[in-house]
Amino acid sequence: MKTWKHAAASLAGAAALLAAPLISHAAEPLKMAWVYVGPVGDGGWTYAHDLGRKAAMKALGDKISTTIVESVPEGADSERVIRDLAAKGNKIIFTTSFGYMEPTLKVAKAFPKVDFYHATGFKSDKNVTIYNSRMYEPAYLAGIIAGHVSKKGILGFVASFPIPEVVRNINAYTMGARSVNPKITTKVVWVNTWYDPGKERQAAEALIGQGADVLLQNTDSSAVLQTAQDKGVNAFGWDSDMTAYAPKAHLGSAIEIWGGYYTKVAEAAIAGKPLKTTVWGGMKDGMNDLVSISPNIPAAAKAVVAEKAAAIKSGKVQVFTGPIKGSDGSIKLAAGKTLTDKEIDSVNYYVEGVEGQLPK
């Protein structure tokens, strides 16, 4: 009933409203916008970004107002959406997928007064800042747990596409496990999609069928974790805390935490000193973590993970520290050295212990 009254009332004021501009200029909160590649309800990548946006809103209240556009294809449409957001008076625009890189750069040229933040890319500009998260750090910790928990010494990884981000997560997971048990190997299955629960499940089944007993995935759904629970093996959550999906199988979740960064960007802009340096944040910066670690893992594992996590957070330990051997046996990095960010960001080989060859 109420809704119909509402409708009637709005009909009455129709003519006036049709003429009125949509954007009011009363109190001026900072207008921020997010462009998402998937739906907010994907439970993974986009969901994590939206949690970040909500955290910023909670922290800053009416100092900011936010707009989202979800499921924006990475073809010709994204440029229009980004341009529209800039034209509608948004001062800060986050474009949260790799494929938005060129459109973001193009639109940024036309709107020099708007600050753009592009996630996971590698090209910046005066008003385009890159930000990314070192998910390989929690992946490494997950590997340590897997190394303790795995009975057969075989880990499984369900991978999406052979881009550096995914490859380094596979490497970090394997290196973490081998730091505990040098005999461990990782089997990788590529599903060629970010989100297809059916395929992700079949990939997990194939890995489990080949003896893998602790799984990690770099895809968006929780299907791998659920499959692990059905088949009586263990797995991790990815992007967001997935404990609730499979409490028995779940060993921990490697999560993205964007809220702190989004809040910082907003605060800096409000203070008139916009953040313009590339941020590639890790656990040290609170941009990701391994959370909800299962209480059932061995005490030794708990101790090692806690120690390594502290070392990573304090900056004492880098994940990609030599010696690193490639899966073909070649030396990729000498002992004592660490990979530079540039090297990490363009990695194109598997480390020792990962089976098979990187798809080309």
Give the separation between CA 175 and CA 352, rounded to whole angstroms: 8
Region 24-63 residues binding another protein, contact defined as CB under 8 A: 33, 39-43, 47
Site string for another protein, 71-110 (x = CB under 8 A): xxxxxxx-xxx-xxx--x---------xx--x-------x
- Of these, 55, 206, 268, 270, which contacts another protein (CB under 8 A)? 206
User: Peptide bond before 39: cis, by omega within 30 degrees of 0?
Assistant: no
Give the separation between CA 348 and CA 125, rounded to whole angstroms: 26
Which range, of 126-134, 222-230, 311-319, 327-335, touches another protein by CB under 8 A? 222-230
For the chain, give the number of residues.
Answer: 360
Give the separation between CA 60 and CA 271, rounded to whole angstroms: 13
Region 6-25 residues binding another protein, contact defined as CB under 8 A: 6-7, 10-11, 13-14, 17-18, 22
CB of 271 to another protein, least distance (A): 26
| Tokens encoding 305 | 């993970």
- Output 145 or 344, the one with its CB closest to another protein: 344
Region 272-331 residues binding another protein, contact defined as CB under 8 A: none
Q: How many CB atoms lie within 10 A of CB 355?
A: 14
* 131 alpha carbon, distance to own chain's centre: 11
Q: Which of 355, 328, 301 is nearest to 154 (CA)?
A: 355
Give the separation between CA 67 and CA 319, rounded to whole angstroms: 36
Pairing of strands 288-291, 250-256: antiparallel
CB of 303 to another protein, least distance (A): 30
- Of these, 96, 104, 124, 221, which contacts another protein (CB under 8 A)? 221
CB of 7 to another protein, least distance (A): 4
Site string for another protein, 120-159 (x = CB under 8 A): --x---------------------------------x---
